[in-house]
Amino acid sequence: MYNSKIIGLGFYVPDNIVTNDDLTKIMDTSDEWVQERTGIKERRWITEGSDDTTATMGAKAAKIAIERAGIDKDDIDFIILATLSPDYYFPGPGVQIQHILDIKTVGALDVRNQCSGFVYALSVADQYIKTGMYKNILVIGSELHSRGLDKTTRGRGVSVIFGDGAGAVVLSREENPKKGILSTHLHSQGEFAEELTVIAPAMGKRWVTDILKDNDPDDISYTPYMNGQFVFKNAVVRFNEVIMEGLLTNNLKKEDIDMLIPHQANLRISQFVQKKFALTDDQIYNNIMQYGNTTAASIPIALTEAWEQGKIKEGDLVVLAAFGSGFTWASAIIRW
Ligand code: ACO
């Protein structure tokens, strides 16, 4: 058995910044409301003529991760892509990324676990590497939310929260059993599937607003529904549980955490978790203020930024934790 470790990281976000004040021009909201409830100041949304898609953004992030890993693209043995906003209903963007990056015909797997998607994808990759089946796996989270949101006052409870972007890592074989991913922990509770959901798929590359023009404008089955307060209450409980589960599995204590990268759901949720684990501001990384909630992309974007800023060093205990639609929740305990 081997361990797996992250040897390269990258992220990509579209250039177009949408501030809370920009949103007040298209819906009834305010900078004060959004910041107070979520911590978000701005997010990236692609412009209408942009070529960015979930697949192209994922490929851009992946290219950086491969370069930083110092390997050739054809050293990649497998691709795992997590998203809830694929370019097509099928196939998933994993195969598009294989094509865009001109990687040889390795397997490409798509993971559908929303905000927990990246940690689920990382866990799957970890198992393949542990067994020796693959050596280098590209793990990507990418989301293009802005095409699928209801940006009128009707959808404001959801649309202000989400942003576009992608993050990626190269996970590789590690011979030292005390380094790399120590354990991962995955959970679900389908009982609450309808508390945060999109009923109908956003098909193809059309904007949801265009689909709605051709259909019944009151049909909200194409846009996300979220029972915000219920999600909040469950999220804080599950974040705590799944982090503790990871620490206990490895005989670690909360004092051992050097860096917690929580899924960027809402700054208030992150602050709640920070308090619960008595972490200093240097022991948790948040960037929801700049990017909003990018679902499966939020952890790899935050992890990459924290690493770029020198906040993660060799030997550090890094904890990833996520909660989201499903409900699903997950953690990964990593010795960097
Ligand atoms: N601007 C202004 N007013 C708004 C907005 C907005 N963008 N959105 C909703 N409102 C209004 C509502 O219409 C409501 O008005 P009313 O009292 O006249 O009916 C009022 O604000 C309060 O609405 P609530 O939905 O009760 O607001 P709440 O305080 O619960 O905040 C929020 C909503 C931010 C979504 C909160 O519930 C939350 O953070 N939930 C956690 C869910 C989360 O983080 N989801 C992220 C995605 S899932 C994940 O990643 C885990």
> What is the rounded end-to-end Cα distance, in angstroms, of the chain?
19
* Chain mean position to CA 4: 20
% of the chain at pLDDT higher than 70: 96
In a 13 Å sphere around the CA of 43, the CA atoms on its Cβ side amount to 32
Q: Which of 27, 37, 273 to mutate to test the pocket of ligand 1 (most atoms within 8 A of CB)?
A: 37
Residue 164 to residue 3: CA distance in whole angstroms: 32
48 pLDDT higher than 60: yes
What is the model's pLDDT at position 113? 95
Considering the entire predicted model, what is its pTM? 0.94
CATH number of the domain that 247 lies in?
3.40.47.10
What is the model's pLDDT at position 199? 72
Q: How confident is the model at residue 214 (pLDDT cuts 50, 70, 90)?
A: confident
Q: Which position among 3, 115, 136, 145 bears the catalytic label?
A: 115
In a 13 Å sphere around the CA of 183, the CA atoms on its Cβ side amount to 13
Note the pLDDT tens digit of each residue in 150-188: 999 999 999 999 999 999 999 999 999 999 999 999 999
Phi–psi pair at 180, nearest 5 degrees: 85, -155
Residue 183 to residue 36: CA distance in whole angstroms: 35
What is the model's pLDDT at position 77? 98
% of the chain at pLDDT higher than 90: 88
Structural domain of 183: 1-336
Residue 9 to residue 168: CA distance in whole angstroms: 6
Cβ atoms of 3 and 181 closer than 8 Å? yes
Q: Which residue has a Cα nearest atom 15 of ligand 1?
A: 157
Q: How confident is the model at residue 89 (pLDDT cuts 50, 70, 90)?
A: confident
How many domains, in total, are found in the chain? 1
Average pLDDT of the chain, as a whole number: 94
Q: What is the DSSP letter of 215?
A: S
Say how many Å lie between the CA of residue 58 and the centre of ligand 1: 29
What is the model's pLDDT at position 205? 54
Examine the residue annotation and report whether 99 is marked as an active-site residue of this protein: no
Q: Which position among 263, 266, 286, 287 bears the catalytic label?
A: 263
Residue 319 to residue 331: CA distance in whole angstroms: 7
Examine the residue annotation and report whether 251 is marked as an active-site residue of this protein: no
Average pLDDT over residues 46-71: 97
Say how many Å lie between the CA of residue 297 and the centre of ligand 1: 22
Q: How confident is the model at residue 197 (pLDDT cuts 50, 70, 90)?
A: confident
Say how many Å lie between the CA of residue 229 and the centre of ligand 1: 7
Note the pLDDT tens digit of each residue in 273-327: 999 999 999 999 999 999 999 999 999 999 999 999 999 999 999 999 999 999 9
